[in-house]
């Protein structure tokens, strides 16, 4: 990261992170984005709003989440490895941090109808939960392939009173769910707030979602200082759209000695369509309201993606991640489907924790992470979600009948 960029981690006008970010949306949505941006600027400084958010995060979500020392993993990799336990949040993942924050924001806007997209289902469950708590009507768009992979979460959303709307177009995964949610928002913008689940899309969403998720890194910073008396050498997190990772990374951006490692879905091969590693196979483009790295062909057409994890199966990446990578402040590597499955088994068998398939990518990359730190160096791995939702799919992939 250059000296000048280190002084400006917040976005520039209209949410620009260098050449990334921005707002590439129909004119119909510009007033709504302006309204959200103005409201968010107010509530960031509103002590009443912030106190209400902190109270819900503490008494409802279950924050702060623990920073767990992983003794067996530490012995295996000869590093001091800590796990940030977002899997212990209410609903089982970090997504609830943002859903609660945006739900409260929607109430300040007077919007009673909520829409959301979901891939792995965790954001959908978190949004449905927040809506049930706050008395808001919830509609969640989800690709039919993801509904098949994540059927327990579909049922959970419906139990919580949400309407789950199947999306059967395109690859029937996350990008198609986002497309349909955006179409809904254009049609119903006056009455509806879109709780976008990751640090992507048009401004102000990348900044707003990052801020709501930064509670992860703020807690981890305090906890590791208490446990070790110093900051970690390396932070590791999986990266789909990028909310759990930017939430962990952001409070450490100015600490130049703390390295940041994002892990993308390496899928089943190196060819386009076989993975969701945007920095390995993508290029600069405009996608779903933002400029970022996009998996696209030579004609600029977005290609299909593949990952064993529904939550990482996305053709683009949040603009701040693209900027951090160009600035060489963060590094991004791949973890294949098989390495992720191995990571899931490793964490389960060594530490008694079954991670989500998304988080398993971070665990599956620990051998690569360890090579980037000295012996006995301190590594924090973000366990962004728990694996209950994935057990049936893992069994199917491994040929086990339940």
Residues known to be catalytic: 95, 117, 384
Cis peptide before 64 (omega within 30 of 0): yes
- Count other Cβ atoms within 10 Å, centred on residue 183: 13
- Output the six-digit token pair for 244: 């759990």
For the chain, how many helices (H) and strands (E)?
18, 14
140: left (phi over 0), alpha (psi -120 to 50) or beta: beta
Closest CA to 107 of 133, 126, 89, 125: 133
Cis peptide before 204 (omega within 30 of 0): yes
The CA-based angle 198-343-349, given to 5 degrees, is: 125
229: left (phi over 0), alpha (psi -120 to 50) or beta: left
Helix, strand, coil shares, percent, the chain, to 5: 50, 20, 30
Q: How many residues can be counted in the chain?
A: 402
Q: How far is the first Cα of the chain from the last one, in angstroms, to the nearest whole number?
A: 49
Burial class (CB in 10 A: 0-12, 13-18, 19+), 348: middle
């Amino acid at each position: 990261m250059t000296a000048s960029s280190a002084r400006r981690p917040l976005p520039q006008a209209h949410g620009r992170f260098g050449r990334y970010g921005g707002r590439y949306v129909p004119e119909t949505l510009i007033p709504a984005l302006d309204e959200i941006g103005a409201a968010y600027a107010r509530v960031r400084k509103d002590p009443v709003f912030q106190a209400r958010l902190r109270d819900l995060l503490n008494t409802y979500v279950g924050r702060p989440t623990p920073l767990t020392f992983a003794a067996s993993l530490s012995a295996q990799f000869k590093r001091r490895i800590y796990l940030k336990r977002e899997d212990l949040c209410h609903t089982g993942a970090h997504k609830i941090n943002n859903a609660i924050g945006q739900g409260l924001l929607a109430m300040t806007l007077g919007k009673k109808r909520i829409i959301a997209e979901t891939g792995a289902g965790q954001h959908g469950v978190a949004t449905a939960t927040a809506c049930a708590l706050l008395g808001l009507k919830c509609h969640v768009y989800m690709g039919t392939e993801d509904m098949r992979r994540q059927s327990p979460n579909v049922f959970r959303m419906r139990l919580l009173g949400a309407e789950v709307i199947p999306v059967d177009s395109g690859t029937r995964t996350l990008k198609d769910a986002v497309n349909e949610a955006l179409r809904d928002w254009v049609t119903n913008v006056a009455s509806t707030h879109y709780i976008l689940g990751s640090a992507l899309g048009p401004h102000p969403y990348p900044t707003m979602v990052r801020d709501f998720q930064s509670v992860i890194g703020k807690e981890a910073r305090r906890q590791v200082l208490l446990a070790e008396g110093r900051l970690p050498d390396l932070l590791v997190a999986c990266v789909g759209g990028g909310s759990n990772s930017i939430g962990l990374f952001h409070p450490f951006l100015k600490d130049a000695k703390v390295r940041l490692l994002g892990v993308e879905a390496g899928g089943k091969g190196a060819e386009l369509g076989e993975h969701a590693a945007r920095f390995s196979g993508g290029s600069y483009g405009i996608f779903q309201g933002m400029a970022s790295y996009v998996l696209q062909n030579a004609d600029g057409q977005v290609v299909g993606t593949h990952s064993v994890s529904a939550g990482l199966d996305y053709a683009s990446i949040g603009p701040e991640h693209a900027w951090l990578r160009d600035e060489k402040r963060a590094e991004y590597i791949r973890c294949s489907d098989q390495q992720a499955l191995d990571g899931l088994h490793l964490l389960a068998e060594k530490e008694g924790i079954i991670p989500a398939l998304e988080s398993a990518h971070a665990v599956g990359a620990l051998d690569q992470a360890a090579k980037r730190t000295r012996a006995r160096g301190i590594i924090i791995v973000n366990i962004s979600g728990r694996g209950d939702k994935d057990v049936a799919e893992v069994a199917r992939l491994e040929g086990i009948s339940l």
